[in-house]
Amino acid sequence: MGSVGCGDDASSSEEELAVGEATAALTSSEEDGDAGAEDSVGYATDAELTAAAEEEAEGIQPVPEDAGSVCDFEAKKQQVRDEYDADGDGSLSRSELAALRKDLDFTPLRPRFARFAWRLRTSAFLRIRWVFDENGDRRLSEEERAALVDTFEARCTRLRQQALAAFDANGDGTLDASERETARQAARARLVAKYQEVLAEYDNNGNGTLDTAERAQLRADLLTRARVRRAAVFAQYDTNDDGMLSAEEKQALADAIRQRIEEGRSAN
């Protein structure tokens, strides 16, 4: 752990946690799957499910040409640090760190943070956050935030290993620029395919986009599916059938979600 400096200096541990949490939000948003955390609906309120459905429906947009990536946690951390390191000294001062923490509230989503990615799934990430809230106080302690960052970093490493296995054509144990571009294009193709699937189901007038009514129907269906999934998750983990999740049952659900995230499941 870093020591706290004087003046406007932030401790290295504070900086690492904030930068790491931002990186976790960004890397999970870049995936074309649900980041392994679909069962986190088991924790969600109706308001949270509604917000997530609205975000997902509004996020159905044409996929940019430069979308898709191979997960690189360290590179993304550096991108975040560079964006908030206003004085360019290589670390975040207390005022710079405060600016990053403010943006990590995601309420509302601030333009500066939104510039990092072509889409951000902040509602889903906020729901995932509470998987790491072991004491249930709706605040993440330093230890809980560290667990979140470590879990998403482990996921990113696993996904990178999967990309290496699939796209390291010359077998040298790394992805060169050409191989990385091939992997990126494959990730983008999956995003495009999912976008086309949505259009095929909801673009009733065939104009190649979702109008207001079509997007509203998508939003309603997403919310219905989330509620059905929440009920199924609740039924699975309410092992004593008392109609609520005890602390032990919630912990079992949290452990299962963490395992799925770390193992790189449901990435696409």
The number of helices, as runs of H, and strands, as runs of E, in the chain is 10, 0
Ordered alpha helix ranges (H), 69-135: 73-84, 94-103, 111-114, 122-129
- Mean pLDDT score, 198-209: 96
More confident residue, 137 or 265: 137
Give pLDDT, residue 3: 39
Tell me if 106 sits within 8 A of 126, measured CB to CB.
Answer: yes
The secondary structure of residue 86, as a DSSP letter, is T
Give the tens place of pLDDT for each residue, 75-108. Answer: 999 999 999 999 999 999 999 999 999 999 887 7
Tell me if 35 sits within 8 A of 124, measured CB to CB.
Answer: yes
Give the tens place of pLDDT for each residue, 136-156. Answer: 888 899 999 999 999 999 999
Cis peptide before 108 (omega within 30 of 0): yes
Show the 3-state SS of the chain.
Answer: CCCCCCCCECCHHHHHHHHHHHHHHHHHHHCCCCCCCHHHHHHCCHHHHHHHHHHHHHCCCCCCCCCCCCCCHHHHHHHHHHHHCCCCCCCCEHHHHHHHHHHCCCCCCCHHHHCCCCCCCHHHHHHHHHHHCCCCCCCCCHHHHHHHHHHHHHHHHHHHHHHHHHHCCCCCCCCCHHHHHHHHHHHHHHHHHHHHHHHHHHCCCCCCCCCHHHHHHHHHHHHHHHHHHHHHHHHHHCCCCCCCCCHHHHHHHHHHHHHHHHCCCCCC
Tell me if 159 sits within 8 A of 264, measured CB to CB.
Answer: yes
User: Residue 8: pLDDT above 70?
Assistant: no
- Please provide the DSSP assignment of 112-128 as one string: HHHTTSS---HHHHHHH
Share of the chain above pLDDT 70, in %: 94
User: Residue 130: pLDDT above 50?
Assistant: yes
Q: Range with the lowest mean pLDDT among 12-16, 39-43, 150-154?
A: 39-43
Q: What is the average pLDDT value for the chain, to the nearest integer?
A: 90
What are 10's two structure tokens? 């932030």
Give the tens place of pLDDT for each residue, 230-260. Answer: 999 999 999 999 998 898 999 999 999 998 8
